Amino acid sequence: MKRLAVSLGAALFAALLGAALLELGPPAATLAPLVAGTLAQSGVTHPVTAVLLNFRGYDTLLEIAVLLIALIGLTAVARRGEAPAATAAVEPVLTTLARLAAPLMVLVAVYLLWAGAHRPGGAFQAGAVLAAAAVLLHLTRLLPAWAAPGAWLRAGLAGGFLLFLAIAAALLAEGALLKYPPAQAGLLILAIESGLTVSLGLILAGLFLFLSEERR
């Protein structure tokens, strides 16, 4: 009876939610014309990149901070095993494919970083592909799990955020938070996205590789 009651309640809630969504009217306002009108001053030609890194760059800065804090919290509470657990051997074919795929994934990440200025792409997508390459190498036993991060790894993890923060602070000294001078906007956004690509790749990979070390 309890399962039936829960199922009926969930179905009723889903029906009410669907009815509410169907009754929604058209949006009262859209920012698309405003973004299009100021796109030439953003330093890029893709509206999504302009919004994320220019028009509301402070929001993206906080998103990076949240991801970095989440990883720091994970490393602080993770329990380390006493000895590595026995693992099954990986098929040589899988290892070979991983060795071939990883450089291609790095190349795709570089392309996504470059493409972000004028088409879908950017640091988040590029960082996700880099992280996927690291996870692939780990699953095929080509990359060990991460223990406590060393100095170089810590620098890579925090470097993108610190670069973003430094540029924001420099612009704030001139009177506005992340309001780029139009002549330097494209270069500053490229510098930020390059740093974020490396840091995001390491952070996203670390969320898996540090946990993998904990499970040993």
6-20, 23-37, 73-87, 149-163: which range is least confident on average?
73-87
pLDDT at 73: 87
Q: Sorting pLDDT into bands at 50, 70 and 90, what band is 34?
A: confident
Average pLDDT over residues 58-79: 87
pLDDT digits (tens, 9 = 90+) for 140-176: 989 888 887 888 999 999 999 999 999 988 888 777 7
pLDDT at 131: 95
Measure the CA angle with vertex 188, ends 184 and 194; round to 5°.
Answer: 150
Quick check: 182 pLDDT over 60? yes
Q: Are 215 and 138 in contact (CB under 8 A)?
A: no
Going by C-alpha positions, the residue among 124, 117, 132, 128 that lies closest to residue 59 is: 124
**Separation CA 54–CA 59 (nearest Å):** 10
Give the 3-state secondary structure of residue 131. Answer: helix
Q: Name the range with the highest mean pLDDT among 19-33, 83-97, 195-209.
A: 195-209
Going by C-alpha positions, the residue among 174, 60, 49 that lies closest to residue 114 is: 49
Percent of the chain with pLDDT over 70: 91
Q: Are 52 and 60 in contact (CB under 8 A)?
A: yes
**Separation CA 98–CA 78 (nearest Å):** 28
Which residues, including other chains, have CB under 8 Å from residue 21's CB and lie 6 or more apart? none
**Separation CA 65–CA 147 (nearest Å):** 22
80 alpha carbon, distance to own chain's centre: 26
Q: Are 36 and 47 in contact (CB under 8 A)?
A: yes
Mean pLDDT of the chain: 85
Quick check: 85 pLDDT over 80? no
- Higher model confidence: residue 112 or residue 23? 112
pLDDT at 83: 44
Give the 3-state secondary structure of residue 84. Answer: coil
pLDDT at 105: 95
- Higher model confidence: residue 2 or residue 135? 135
Average pLDDT over residues 114-128: 89
**From residue 131, how far is each of 58, 208, 215 by CA, in Å?**
24, 9, 19
**Separation CA 18–CA 164 (nearest Å):** 41
Quick check: 82 pLDDT over 70? no
pLDDT at 28: 64
